[in-house]
Structure 1
Amino acid sequence: MPAHSSFDYAIIRVVPRVEREEFINVGVVLFCTTQRFLGVRVELDEARLKALAPDTDLDTVRDHLESFRRVSEGGKGTGPIGQLPQKDRWHWLVAPRSTILQTGPVHSGLSQEPQKALEHLMDTVVRVKRVR
Structure 2
Amino acid sequence: MKKHAYSYAVLQYRHDVWVGEALNAGVLLFSESARFLKLKSRTGQGRLAQAYPDLDHGAFRDAVKALGRRFDKISSSSGLFQPSGGALEVGRKVLLPDDSSLSWGMTGSGISADPEDALNKIYARFVGRYDKVAGREPRTDEMVFETVRRKLELAELYQRVQPHVVRSKYAAIPFKHTIENGALHVIQPVSFDSADAENMLDKAAKWAGRLQSIAELKGRVRPYFVTGKPTDHSLMVQYSKMVELLRASPLDPVVMDEEHSSELVAKIADHLH
TM-score range, shorter chain: 0.7 to 0.9
Match of 1:26 in 2: 25
Q: Which amino acid counterpart does residue 80 of structure 2 have in structure 1?
A: Q
**Alignment correspondent of 1:78:** none
Q: CA deviation at 1:105?
A: 3.5
Query: Does residue 118 in structure 1 map to residue 112 in structure 2?
Result: no
Q: Which moved more, 1:114-123 or 1:66-75?
A: 66-75
CA distance in 2 between counterparts of 1:62 and 1:45 reads 6
Matches of 1:109 and 1:97 in 2, distance apart? 28
Question: Take 2:56 and 2:131, find their aligned partners in 1: how far apart are those partners?
Answer: 25
Gaps of 5+ in 2: 85-89, 133-137, 141-273
Query: Post-superposition shift, 1:114?
Result: 0.7
Deviations 1:5-57 (A, max 9, x none): 21110111111111111122121100001111101111235242233222221
Q: Give the equivalent residue in structure 2 for 1:97.
A: 98
Map 1:1-132 → 2, pairs under 5 A: 1-2=1-2, 4-44=3-43, 46-74=45-73, 85-86=79-80, 90-93=91-94, 95-127=96-128, 128-130=130-132, 132=140
Give the paired residue count: 125
- Secondary structure (helix, strand or coil) at the match of 1:20 reads coil
- Name the amino acid aligned to 1:48: R
Structure 1 residues 28 and 35: CA distance shift in structure 2, 3 A = same
Root mean square deviation of aligned Cα: 2.5
State the alpha-carbon separation in 2 of the partners of residues 100 and 123 from structure 1.
22
AA matched with 2:19: R
Supply the AA of the counterpart residue of 2:56.
D
Residue 74 of structure 1 contacts residue 84 of structure 1 at CA under 8 Å; is this kept in 2? Answer: no
Change (3 A) 1:122 1:47: closer
Percent of residue pairs bearing the same amino acid type: 25
Q: CA deviation at 1:95?
A: 4.1
Give the Cα–Cα distance (whole angstroms) in 2 for the partners of residues 100 and 21 of structure 1.
Answer: 10
SS at match of 1:19: coil
- Rg larger for: 2
What CA distance in whole angstroms lies between the structure 2 residues aligned with 1:94 and 1:110?
25
Q: Report SS of the residue matched to 2:37.
A: strand
How far, CA to CA, are the matches of 2:27 and 2:112 in structure 1? 15
TM-score (normalised: structure 1): 0.79
SS at match of 2:18: helix
**Structure 1 runs, 4 residues or longer, greater than 3 Å off:** 82-85, 87-91, 129-132
Q: Relative contact order, CA 8 A, sep 6+: which one is greater?
A: 1
Structure 1 stretches of 5 or more lacking a match? 76-81
Please, which moves more after superposition, 56-65 or 103-112? 103-112
Does the aligned pair in 1 maintain the 2:44–2:60 contact within 8 Å? Answer: no
